[in-house]
Structure 1
Amino acid sequence: MDYWSFGTVIFECICGFRPFLHHMQPVQWISKVKNKGPKDIMAIEDMNGEVRFSTQLPYPNNLSKPLLELVECLLQMLLLWDPALRGGGLDPETNRPHCFTAMHSILNMKVMHVLDMTSAQLHSMILGTEESLHSLQIRLETQTQAHIPPLSQELLQESGMSLDPRWPPAQCLPDGLCGWDSFIVFLFDKSLTKYSGPLTARRLPDSVNFIVRETKTQLPLSALRKVWGEAVSYIRGLKEDYLRLYQGQRAAILSLLRYNSNLTRYKSVLLSQSQQLRAKLAIFKTSIQHDLEQYTKQTDTGISSEKMLKTWQENEKKVDEFMEVADVSRLDDEIVALHSEIVELQRSPFARRQGDVMEQLENKAIELYKQLKAKCKSPDPPHGYSDSSDMVGTIVQMVQNQDRVLKDLYTHLSKILICKRRIVDLFPEVEGAIVKIKASNAEVMQMQLKRQKEFWFLLKIACAQRDSLSPSFTQQSTDSETVSQLLDDNQRYMAQLTSLLQDATQEMEHSVMDQDWSWIQFGAVKVDTQ
């Protein structure tokens, strides 16, 4: 296996150029590179023409710190000048070169990238297979700039869901290097609601820092080509830094929406319980008022109980107290106002990605690099030297634009976190109101059952009094019943007598008319003759 070529390919894939003075002729190259140390993995020629060796990968390289150390160790074994020593020698445990053991470790490692949203620092944590979330949080406390304690840490995935403490964090990572390398967890400090910004931009590479300080200095095109390539990488890195922070903001808004969804569910339960309690109280109060009215009417002639009257009056006062418990209008108004603020946060232009200007500046830097590259390849370049005014101007614009968009991002993020804190503060109040309403509901039911028992008790008393009436009262009742019966008999007899008289009268009328009344006529004639 050609270890040297393999190491060179790895280096070029990471950095974008070959490790050892690729622009030199072979004889000159050998005379320079053979002087490298056993752990040197690269050689660069500075602006003054001096060759400097390094045991580390150049900055920037876009490798996380845990992976960077392992890759540098691997390259140190592959890029040894002595061919017999390349590969790191045999590993007695595997009987294979040590470089294969290093590659196996790299391919099997589990790394979780944690972006601290309070400082915009990216922490890469190597995870054990069974390492708990609490163990990870303790390690983060020591590495974060603000030393955030575990109780104040909130680790959100890109979907807005928190890491489940019941499972090892390593189970959240996607399979494969490409999976976990793009997987980011966002760290928030729950004790803070306002994050400061804009944050300091990433550090400039030494060569890029040189052209920024010496903008008008004329440099060879071959040297500028490498420096401008690093400048393009730096500008792209600024854009990626913003995009990661924007992903953190999106995770925060998604987490806020999850909290808001839970609050809405609690609100529905609260309003339902409140309406049920109000309905029961209205019925119970109407019943109590009716009982008091009826009790007042029959007090003089019926049954009276001061204890029962006092209980009913106390129940009427309790109903008024329970009505205050059922009144959840204040909480309802706060939740509705909070919903409106969340909708406004979602509609805000700062809730959308503000990277258009960054992309334009990145494309401009790439175009400048392509133009410089074309000049270097020209067989007869018009000028062998050039300054870096255009590229430095693009870098300055990129840094200024990043400051502006990060300021807007953190202002919007602070509003999101304030709304989330208000929701968290409302949860205990809503839960407490639901508990009070349920307790009041149960007490109203007990009062209703007690009222029913009191009615049954009154019925028992009434029945007992009826069975134990005095004899005089019984005699009076009997006499009154006899008089009534006599009157009824008298009326019945009078009706029968009237009917008999009418029948007799009709019979007499018919019998008189049937008599011979002719003698009356004879007597009349005789009188006339006389």
Structure 2
Amino acid sequence: MTSQGSAPRGGWVERHILGSGGFGTVTLWENQESDERIALKRCRLQNEMNAKHRQRWEQEITIMKRLDHPNVIAVRDVPPPLDVGKDSLPLLAMEYCSGGDLRKVLNRPEHCCGLPELQVRFLARDVARAIEYLHGKRIIHRDLKPENIVLQNIEDRIVYKLIDLGYAKELDQGSVCTSFVGTLQYLAPELFASQKYTCTVDYWSFGTVVFECITGIRPFLPSMAPVLWHREVCQKKVDDICAILDSTGKVRFSQKLPTPNHLCRTLQVYFEQWLRMMLYWDPKARGGGIDPDQRRPNCFVLLDNLLEMKIVHVLNVSANQMMSYPVVEKQTLQELQRILSEETKIPVEEQEILLASGITPDPEKPAAQCWSKPGEEDWIVFLFRKSTSVINNNDKQAKPIPLMVQNIIREPNTLLPYQEQRRAWAESVCFCQEQVTDLKTLILAQRAAILDVLRVNTKFLQKKTEMMQDIGQLQAKGDFFRMSLQHDIQRYNDQAASGGITSSSMYAKWKKMGEDLKQIKELSWRMTELDEQARALQTKIVELHKSPFAKSKQTDVLEELTTKAEKLYQDLRLATKEQRRTLSDHSPMVNVVHKCVLVRHKAMADLYTHLGKASSCKAEIKKLLPDISAGCDEIKQSIERLTTNQKQRQNDLWYLVKKALSGVNNQSGASVLRQELKGDISNLPPQSAVSDSSSSGLESLKIIEDNKQTQAHLSNLFDNVLHEHDSFVSSLHDMTWDFLGPSSGDTK
């Protein structure tokens, strides 16, 4: 069933009326077989138009068919079943844009104080390209207004397109004025006054549309009657971009964009500069002339530069202050930090900057690494102060309540004229929206802080694990060394007591080695204490994940309150003229704003508490990590010292053997020593080989007997020493140490 009940025509069905203007009505038609949809416009004044006007209408359609630009509505062929006869004015078939027109978008309650920054960017760029294209074709639109800008969703992005191109430009001035009834606020002053004009009339209209998209209201006295409006606005100074009536009824001009709006402060400054150029009262100065290098109007050059500018958004977390800065390709991160220091009073060395991913920017890379392509959610950089382990909730700045909202909160029963009440309620809606945005941004800050803690904690845990593995290695090797040392000292004492070889310096060194083992015990105790502190810290870090702000949907209550505020505003906007004459109080809106403030206050307090916990955890990691790193170094040094002591003790044992054998050499000669080293004790030299002297037989027998006894004693001692040493060395080198795990200081 169609909206007008018309029957299908050749498979085409009329769906509903899309809109109507001064000359025509646009209707949506859909093909039942192909699902193709077109917007069909027919002239509704054809019975009132003479032959000259009819000729100009047909000529305009011919021109439209020659235009081809992505930001200008595309013309389609009229389907034969829908076409009209030769005696009727021709129809205009156009592509169907499902997003509706810009006026419907601006009328949504969530846009009562302007569009989001991203949509302002897209709209300004798309419409500027369309206007520059038309002017290049020597076409002046003359009727730029939100109703003549439509939206089409292409590849997940809204594209803005111009419609109703120049239908009135060839008509007489009387018809022009008739066609603009109700949209005079978008007319350039010279067009309104029926003066000669150029393409700069489109600049004024374009600037007015962009201003309304930024703020939600038109720039100059939007509620004033046209004739009075012209008389007042013509008094504006060159750089004035808006005018309002104050509480006394006096006109106040301004060179600044009114607040609240949704632009970052950097874009506000540059758009103010651009709007001054577009809203010059003098048509010759409007647009800024022609750029000599690019040979394009300066207004389009400036807008391109503005929209291509890279803007970094930085949240000073402790102050809850959002800042924005334009950055250039060669600007260093250190230069950006110096700018931050000037504004926040946080010294560069105290700044801790985190990207949304929780990663710290690379100081060797330019500041542009903190920028991302504009999207629905800009990539925000978060600024923390290093020395603050706990964020002071009292330092944060509460977002100021707009003045008009303060007035209705202070006196909710004070009755205001409709336009003032509507603006006060619009600012109330925007205030509620800002609370949602602020809370979401701080939640992102907490998420970045937690990710940063987890990243740092990963390295911390690796170092702590290394410490515990190494201390385990040290303890095991120390225990083995202690047992073997005790055994060696015991055997040394035993052989010394039986008249064996002794060395006071060697014995003192061994005793000193035993004293050194006490340091291993003390080191082990300190590492255990560090491990306990690290375990307690891990418990705190796990608790961070249990934060309610670590989960999604933590702004539900504020979003519900914002929705209520938007509905109240929409009901007020849609009130009939009779209802508008009846003044009403502000209690419903004030109640919503009051609840919003209370919810925000509690949520912010809780959020800053959790931010403080994350900051405290990171501070503890930074405090413990140097101690653990130093502990790892001490463990490695202790292992090296233990290994050195072991080698020294082995050298001492061999020195003892050498000393014992040296005594044998002095008494029995080199040949006896060589035989003893070979272990061939049974093949002793004959008596004649011992002495060839002619001494008496009794003396010779005594020497031989002494030699036999000394040889037997040393042989016994040597065998015992070699046996014990070989056993110890064999057990030390052949023992499997795998159960201790790899030592971080070992190399293969």
Aligned residue type for 1:215: P
Cα gap change, 1:382/1:163 in structure 2, threshold over 3 Å: closer, same or farther? Answer: closer
- RMSD between aligned residues: 2.3
Following superposition of structure 1 onto structure 2, how do residues 23-172 of structure 1 map, counting pairs within 5 Å?
A: 23-144=223-344, 147-172=345-370
Q: What is the match of residue 539 of structure 2? A: 340
For the 8 Å contact 1:155–1:188, the answer to whether it is kept is yes
For the 8 Å contact 1:159–1:254, the answer to whether it is kept is yes
For the 8 Å contact 1:47–1:223, the answer to whether it is kept is no
Cα gap change, 1:479/1:451 in structure 2, threshold over 3 Å: closer, same or farther? Answer: closer
Return the alpha-carbon distance in structure 2 between the equivalents of residues 222 and 64 of structure 1.
27
Cα gap change, 1:473/1:259 in structure 2, threshold over 3 Å: closer, same or farther? Answer: farther
Return the offset for 1:49: 4.3
Return the offset for 1:97: 2.5
For the 8 Å contact 2:355–2:370, the answer to whether it is kept is no
Q: What is the match of residue 187 of structure 1? A: 383
Return the offset for 1:108: 2.9
1:85 alignment partner, SS class: coil
For the 8 Å contact 2:221–2:245, the answer to whether it is kept is yes
1:269 correspondence with 2:466: yes
Q: What is the count of residue pairs matched by the alignment?
A: 474
For the 8 Å contact 1:201–1:399, the answer to whether it is kept is no
Return the alpha-carbon distance in structure 2 between the equivalents of residues 245 and 52 of structure 1.
37
Query: Which deviates more from structure 2 when the two are superposed, residues 437-446 or residues 20-29?
Result: 20-29
Following superposition of structure 1 onto structure 2, how do residues 270-309 of structure 1 map, counting pairs within 5 Å?
A: 270-299=467-496, 300-309=498-507
1:187 alignment partner, SS class: strand
For the 8 Å contact 2:390–2:612, the answer to whether it is kept is yes
Aligned residue type for 1:121: Q
For the 8 Å contact 1:201–1:238, the answer to whether it is kept is no
Return the alpha-carbon distance in structure 1 between the equivalents of residues 213 and 499 of structure 2.
106
For the 8 Å contact 1:365–1:394, the answer to whether it is kept is yes
Query: Which deviates more from structure 2 when the two are superposed, residues 147-156 or residues 241-250?
Result: 241-250
Return the offset for 1:317: 0.9
Return the offset for 1:225: 2.2
1:238 correspondence with 2:432: no
Percent identity, aligned pairs only? Answer: 38
Query: Which deviates more from structure 2 when the two are superposed, residues 329-338 or residues 116-125?
Result: 116-125
For the 8 Å contact 2:443–2:549, the answer to whether it is kept is no
TM-score, normalized by length of structure 2? 0.60
Query: Which deviates more from structure 2 when the two are superposed, residues 88-97 or residues 420-429?
Result: 88-97
For the 8 Å contact 1:351–1:412, the answer to whether it is kept is no
Q: What is the match of residue 70 of structure 2? A: none
Q: What is the match of residue 359 of structure 1? A: 559
Q: 2:598 aligns with which of 387, 400, 407?
A: 400
Higher RCO (C-alpha under 8 Å, 6+ residues apart)? 1
1:252 correspondence with 2:481: no
Query: Which deviates more from structure 2 when the two are superposed, residues 321-330 or residues 116-125?
Result: 321-330
Return the alpha-carbon distance in structure 1 between the equivalents of residues 271 and 617 of structure 2.
44
Return the alpha-carbon distance in structure 2 between the equivalents of residues 306 and 450 of structure 1.
15
Return the alpha-carbon distance in structure 2 between the equivalents of residues 229 and 37 of structure 1.
28
Which digits, 9 at most, give the CA deviation of each residue in 1:313-344, with x for residues without a partner? 11111112222223311000000011111112
Q: What is the match of residue 494 of structure 1? A: none
Instruction: Return 5+ residue gaps in structure 1 as ranges.
Output: 481-530
Return the alpha-carbon distance in structure 2 between the equivalents of residues 275 and 218 of structure 1.
80
Return the offset for 1:20: 2.6
Aligned residue type for 2:494: K
Cα gap change, 1:311/1:29 in structure 2, threshold over 3 Å: closer, same or farther? Answer: same
Return the alpha-carbon distance in structure 1 between the equivalents of residues 424 and 584 of structure 2.
12
For the 8 Å contact 1:130–1:168, the answer to whether it is kept is yes
Cα gap change, 1:200/1:136 in structure 2, threshold over 3 Å: closer, same or farther? Answer: closer
TM-score, normalized by length of structure 1? 0.84
1:77 alignment partner, SS class: helix
Larger Rg: 1
2:272 alignment partner, SS class: helix
Following superposition of structure 1 onto structure 2, how do residues 345-494 of structure 1 map, counting pairs within 5 Å?
A: 345-349=544-548, 351-352=550-551, 354-375=554-575, 378=576, 380-381=578-579, 383-469=581-667, 475-476=704-705
Return the alpha-carbon distance in structure 2 between the equivalents of residues 142 and 479 of structure 1.
96
1:386 alignment partner, SS class: coil
Aligned residue type for 1:74: W
Aligned residue type for 1:476: E
For the 8 Å contact 2:485–2:510, the answer to whether it is kept is yes
Return the alpha-carbon distance in structure 2 between the equivalents of residues 321 and 287 of structure 1.
18
Which digits, 9 at most, give the CA deviation of each residue in 1:467-495, with x for residues without a partner? 44456676227999xxxxxxxxxxxxxxx
Return the alpha-carbon distance in structure 1 between the equivalents of residues 397 and 442 of structure 2.
13
1:194 alignment partner, SS class: coil
Which digits, 9 at most, give the CA deviation of each residue in 1:73-104, with x for residues without a partner? 10010112222221012233433322133213
1:298 alignment partner, SS class: helix
Q: 1:173 aligns with which of 371, 386, 391?
A: 371
Query: Which deviates more from structure 2 when the two are superposed, residues 346-355 or residues 295-304?
Result: 346-355
For the 8 Å contact 2:241–2:255, the answer to whether it is kept is yes
For the 8 Å contact 1:156–1:185, the answer to whether it is kept is yes
Aligned residue type for 2:231: S
Q: What is the match of residue 17 of structure 1? A: 217
Query: Which deviates more from structure 2 when the two are superposed, residues 99-108 or residues 152-161?
Result: 99-108
Return the alpha-carbon distance in structure 1 between the equivalents of residues 303 and 580 of structure 2.
47
Q: What is the match of residue 729 of structure 2? A: none
Return the offset for 1:200: 4.2
1:229 alignment partner, SS class: helix
Return the alpha-carbon distance in structure 2 between the equivalents of residues 211 and 48 of structure 1.
18
Return the offset for 1:139: 1.4
Q: What is the match of residue 217 of structure 1? A: 414
For the 8 Å contact 1:281–1:323, the answer to whether it is kept is no
